[in-house]
Every structure is written in structure tokens, then in C-alpha cells.
């Protein structure tokens, strides 16, 4: 395995085959400073959200209370009236530091002349990039949660070059309707497939439209459009249309208008359990079933959120077949490591939305999997999980994100350094509201130096109305979906 193929883990040391190298230039302060610079270079979403920071040592499980000022209201008065003093109140947003992310690897004895520069290129850079990828996966996975507050824009698998501008305008409209400030902190994150669709639209690249003498076309740059800064992020979720599904249809003369939450259906021959994800042709947004009437032959379904677009009579309803928790003891609330599951013919994908049982409120995103037995989700689970409980996977398509900086909070705190005398060298570096620790210790049994790069952080929705899920493009080319190594890199 090539040395640039590190996998970040938040629970246990995973690293690939270590090539021969030496232990010279192993100064934690150098590694931490260089590592933090590399981290900022390689994060996309992590550099665009609200970042709260205090240079205070913290530990896993601590809760940071960050504050969001309430809006003021302009009032009228006459010359004879005194001013009305409004209270300056800030809402407290608790953010648990429940993400201890780390990448660990061994630097073996043997080559005494290897320079710090070479060690950076061989090990530090790929190690830190794995942390940057982790942070972006966690943040991008929050996009699906905003469907609880604002209807999604666009449609899963429907965006092409000719309608890409309309999709972005729909997202802009949603932010405008939600009274989100029109400033330089509005952003759109597209995955590679959606970016391709946007670039096919000449409004974004043709010199005579853009007025940039062809720069956008030459560099595939999207820049700022419609008052939103547009970025491509390889970790922004894309779910291929490969999971097991069953279908039925809308059974109502004239179909249903946008805003409908209870639908009469036909054509199903098996029960649809609460929590199951579906899509309806014409609406094309991710929907969850709250309940289905008539057991094994459902004739009515009730949705958690209403449909965003009108649907016709006989519109196809696609149901994504759930799997199940596969651990006799189940999992307690707050659990954050691998979750054993089964019952899937096609394994869930990195970036795929997932919920458990009938819980339609706590939506997660898959950020890790081995492709056969477990999944890892974007944050610790809120409720207990029991053996056999359904694992509900979200629909196929692109899960892009339009948001203001204040939609999400990324909170970072420095970790404590090891005690003096335990045989470890360590350093913390903090800059621009991020903190990283580097710990080095010699392992006599393995004849090398164990290096751990780690961060303590928490992620939370900061302003509920400041983000909108942008459902978008289908896949444009073949890719190897079944390889866990490929999936871990989050290539879309």
C-alpha cells in the first residue's frame, strides 16, 4: 500500500503497511505547526462554517456553550416618546466535544538521514489530509438534517446542465425566504457530479456571460454566482442508485400538490415500517414514512415532512429497503464507534443518510464502512439502539449544501499533553480557531516511533434556518463503489 493511503479513525489505530523510514527530525512542535497548516489547506467545509474557539484545554465529553445573539426589531417613535430598550440576549448553543479524531502511524528505524521535509511529504501530509477529510465528512453529513427546517431545493438525480442555474436559484430563494443575511458568508458545496452538471451550463463558464475572458472555462472555476460562493468538495455525499428498493405508486386522481403529507398509494405487497426512506417521482426529494396503513398491503402512507413538489396520479414511489442492527447487546446512547448491521444485499455507501427504527428526528450520515459488517455515522447516536432495530438508508442522488456560515458550528479545543516522564514527546498548536496535537513515543517492540495526530472537536447546527439541502445531479461516469479503500477517501 502506498504511504499516502492513511485512514483517519476516531476509535482505534488503523494504518496501512509502513514503508521503511527513519526517526530523524521527529520534533512534535515542527510536526504540529506544519500539520495545522496542511489541515487548513485541505479542508473545504471546515473553513466555511462558524468556528468557535478558546485556547482552553478540554477533554472528550466536555460541553462548550457557544452563544448566538438574537435579532433586534426596529420600532417607531415620535419626538415625545422615549426609546424602547430591547434586551441584548444571546441564545446558548451547547456543543459537546464528542469527536476525538486521530490518525496514528509508525515511523520505523533504519534510515537516519531522512529530512523533516521528506517525512512531511511521506507521512505528515497524508495523515493530516485524512483528518481534514474526516472533518469535512462530518460537516457535509449535516446537510440532510436541514430538511427538518426548510424544504429541500432541487431534486435527487435530476440536475443537468440546462437546469443547474434554476437549482442554485431555488437554494438562494430558500435562504432569502428564511431571512438569511445576503453577504459574503453564503456558500454552496457541490460534489464532483453536481459540479460537472453546473459546468455544463454556459452561464457559468462562457466568457461572454461571465465576463472573465475565459478564465472560468479554462480553470473550471465556479467562483461566486447569485450571491453565493460555489465550491466543489470531494467529500460532499453522492449515493449511487444501487441499493435494494421496492416500488408502488400514487393512487389518487389528479395526484397531490406540494405540501401534501398523507398519500393514498397502491402496488405494495409488503409492509413499510416507520422510518423508511422513500422518493416519489415528480417530487424527487428524500422523504421518510411515519406510518403506513394496512400492514403488508399499504394503501396510505404518512410522511414526516410534506412533499416539496406536486406529484401525478400513478407517480412511482421508490422505497429503500432497510437493514437491521446486528448486535445482541445493542448500543447505548452516546455510542460513537462502529455499528454492526446486517440485512443489506447492497451495502450502504459513504455519505448515505441513515436513521434507526422509528426515529425520524435524528438523521445521521455514514462516514465510514468496511463494506460488509459495520457502518460509522457522523456523530454519536442520540438514543439506544436494540438488536434487530431497523437501519433505514436514504435515497440515491447528490446531497449538496447551500448555507450561511452560521448554519453550522465547528468547535475545537486543545487536548491535554501527556504527563512528563511517560516517554512521549508532544505538542499542541492552535491557530485560526483550530487546534491539533502531535504525540510521539518510541515503541521498542515495533522498533519505531508511533506518531498520533489528533483533534478534539464538536459539531452542531448553529442556526436552523441558515442551511438548505440541495438535491442534485446523477452520476456521470463509472466508479468503483465496492472498495472500502476508495469509499473511505470520500470521492464524492
For the chain (length 492 residues), average pLDDT per consecutive 10? 50 37 64 88 89 77 75 75 73 85 84 65 86 93 95 91 90 95 93 89 58 41 82 92 96 96 95 95 96 88 95 97 97 95 96 96 95 95 97 96 95 88 85 88 83 92 94 59 38 32
**Nearest alpha-carbon partner for 467 in 190, 188, 223:** 188
The whole-angstrom separation of Cα 429 and Cα 60 is: 18
Cα dihedral 3→7→9→14 (10° resolution): -50
Cell readout for 314 is 400513478
Helix pair 125-140, 28-42: axis angle to 10 deg:
40
Phi-psi category of residue 295: left, alpha or beta, with phi > 0 → left and psi -120 to 50 → alpha: left
pLDDT value, residue 25: 64
421-101-141 Cα angle (round to 5) = 170
Is there a contact between 414 and 55 (Cβ–Cβ < 8 Å)? Answer: yes
pLDDT value, residue 215: 45
The CA distances from residue 308 to 261, 311, 435, in Å, are 10, 9, 41
The whole-angstrom separation of Cα 344 and Cα 231 is: 33
Integer Rg of the chain from CA: 24
pLDDT value, residue 278: 97
408-413 and 448-461 beta bridge pairing: antiparallel
Burial class (CB in 10 A: 0-12, 13-18, 19+), 288: buried
pLDDT value, residue 160: 87
- What is the H or E stretch that residue 207 is in? helix 207-210
pLDDT value, residue 83: 80
Cell readout for 146 is 436541514
Query: What is the b/e burial string over 9-47, where b = at least 16 CB atoms within 10 angstroms of the residue's CB?
Result: bbeeeebeeeeebbbebbebebbbbbbbebbeebbbbbb
Amino acid at each position: 500500500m502506498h504511504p499516502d493511503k492513511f485512514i483517519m479513525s476516531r476509535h482505534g489505530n488503523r494504518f496501512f503497511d509502513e514503508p521503511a523510514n527513519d526517526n530523524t527530525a521527529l520534533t512534535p512542535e515542527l510536526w504540529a505547526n506544519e500539520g495545522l497548516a496542511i489541515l487548513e489547506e485541505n479542508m473545504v467545509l471546515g473553513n466555511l462554517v462558524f468556528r468557535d474557539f478558546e485556547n482552553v484545554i478540554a477533554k472528550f465529553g466536555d460541553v462548550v456553550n457557544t452563544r448566538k445573539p438574537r435579532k433586534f426589531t426596529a420600532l417607531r417613535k415620535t419626538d415625545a416618546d422615549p426609546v424602547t430598550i430591547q434586551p441584548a440576549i444571546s441564545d446558548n448553543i451547547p456543543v459537546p466535544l464528542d469527536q476525538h479524531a486521530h490518525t496514528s502511524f509508525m515511523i520505523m528505524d533504519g534510515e537516519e538521514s531522512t529530512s523533516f521535509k521528506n517525512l512531511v511529504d511521506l507521512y505528515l501530509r497524508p495523515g493530516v489530509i485524512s483528518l481534514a477529510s474526516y472533518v469535512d465528512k462530518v460537516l457535509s453529513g449535516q446537510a440532510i438534517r436541514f430538511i427538518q427546517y426548510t424544504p429541500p431545493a432541487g431534486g435527487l438525480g435530476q440536475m443537468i446542465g440546462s437546469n443547474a442555474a434554476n437549482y442554485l436559484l431555488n437554494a438562494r430563494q430558500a435562504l432569502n425566504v428564511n431571512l438569511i443575511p445576503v453577504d459574503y458568508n453564503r456558500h454552496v458545496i457541490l460534489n464532483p457530479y453536481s459540479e460537472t452538471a453546473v459546468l455544463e451550463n454556459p452561464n457559468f463558464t462562457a466568457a461572454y456571460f461571465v465576463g472573465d475572458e475565459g478564465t472560468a472555462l479554462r480553470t473550471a472555476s465556479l467562483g461566486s454566482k447569485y450571491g453565493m460562493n460555489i465550491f466543489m468538495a470531494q467529500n460532499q455525499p453522492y449515493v449511487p442508485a444501487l441499493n435494494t428498493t421496492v416500488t408502488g405508486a400514487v393512487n389518487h386522481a389528479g395526484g397531490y400538490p406540494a405540501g401534501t403529507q398523507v398519500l393514498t398509494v397502491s402496488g405494495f405487497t409488503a409492509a413499510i415500517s416507520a422510518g423508511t426512506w422513500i422518493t416519489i417521482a415528480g417530487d424527487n426529494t428524500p422523504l421518510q414514512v411515519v406510518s403506513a396503513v394496512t400492514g403488508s398491503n399499504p394503501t396510505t402512507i404518512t410522511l414526516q415532512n410534506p412533499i416539496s413538489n406536486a406529484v401525478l396520479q400513478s407517480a412511482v414511489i421508490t422505497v429503500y429497503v432497510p437493514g437491521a442492527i446486528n448486535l445482541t447487546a445493542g448500543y447505548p446512547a452516546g455510542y460513537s464507534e462502529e455499528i454492526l448491521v446486517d440485512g443489506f444485499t447492497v451495502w450502504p455507501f459513504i455519505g448515505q443518510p441513515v436513521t434507526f427504527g422509528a426515529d425520524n428526528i435524528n438523521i445521521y450520515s455514514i462516514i465510514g464502512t468496511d463494506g460488509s459488517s459495520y457502518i460509522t455515522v457522523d456523530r454519536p447516536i442520540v438514543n439506544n439502539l436494540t438488536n434487530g432495530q431497523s437501519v433505514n438508508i436514504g435515497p440515491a442522488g447528490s446531497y449538496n449544501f447551500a448555507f450561511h456560515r452560521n448554519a453550522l458550528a465547528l468547535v475545537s479545543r486543545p487536548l491535554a499533553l501527556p504527563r512528563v516522564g511517560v516517554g512521549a514527546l508532544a505538542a499542541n498548536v492552535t491557530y485560526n480557531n483550530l487546534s491539533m496535537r502531535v504525540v510521539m513515543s518510541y515503541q521498542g517492540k515495533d522498533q519505531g516511533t508511533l506518531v498520533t495526530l489528533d483533534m478534539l472537536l464538536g459539531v452542531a447546527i448553529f442556526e436552523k434556518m441558515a442551511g438548505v439541502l440541495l438535491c442534485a445531479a446523477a452520476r456521470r461516469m463509472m466508479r468503483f463503489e465496492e472498495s472500502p479503500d476508495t469509499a473511505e477517501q470520500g470521492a464524492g
